[in-house]
Amino acid sequence: MKLELSSFEKALASLDEALAEYDRTQSQFVKDACIQRFEYTYELAHKLLKRQLEAMSPNPSEIDQMSFPDMIRTGAERGLLSQSWDHWKYFRDARNATSHAYNEKKANEVFVRIPAFRDEAAFLLARLQERNAE
């Protein structure tokens, strides 16, 4: 089974574009755009990881019933992720923080996590593209 990756590819490219623009301008407006793009890229990464693990599993319902930490551990064990649960918890906490009312301090805490997430998302995308090519 091949996964449809175009939305994830576009989301990651959009995140890259926003990060590059922030590096150039240091604009608060662009920082906010980076955070928003992080949110939807994170959601797509999570969904596609789950779909790939289900496709690789002899019992897909087993994946569906996994806790998030177990799914991340399984993804790392199967070579889809380069980072462990500790890193993904860091990303998940950042994503959850974006759900609350805007707070500049929280926004800054989230923002500093985005480059590491971007690298992990790019790793996941590359692994998913390799699986699709098989």
Residue-wise pLDDT for 4-46, tens only, equals 999 999 999 999 999 999 999 999 999 999 999 999 999 999 9
Contact between residue 33 and residue 109 where contact means Cβ atoms under 8 Å apart: no
In a domain, 93, yes or no: yes
Q: Name the more confident of 71 and 101.
A: 71
In a domain, 1, yes or no: no
Q: State the Cα–Cα distance between residues 26 and 19, nearest whole angstrom.
A: 10
Residue 127 in this model has a pLDDT that exceeds 80: yes
Domain limits for position 74: 6-133
Q: What pLDDT does residue 101 have?
A: 56
| Gap between the terminal Cα atoms of the chain | 10
**Which whole number is the average pLDDT over 107-125?**
96
In a domain, 12, yes or no: yes
CATH of the domain at 106: 1.20.120.330
In a domain, 102, yes or no: yes
Catalytic positions, written as ranges? 95, 100
Q: State the Cα–Cα distance between residues 22 and 132, nearest whole angstrom.
A: 33
Residue 75 in this model has a pLDDT that exceeds 80: yes
**Which whole number is the average pLDDT over 105-129?**
96
In a domain, 76, yes or no: yes
**Which whole number is the average pLDDT over 62-77?**
96
Residue 1 in this model has a pLDDT that exceeds 70: yes
User: How far is residue 108 CA from its own chain's centroid?
Assistant: 18
What's the total number of domains in the chain? Answer: 1
Is the pTM for the entire model greater than 0.85? Answer: yes
Q: What pLDDT does residue 102 have?
A: 73
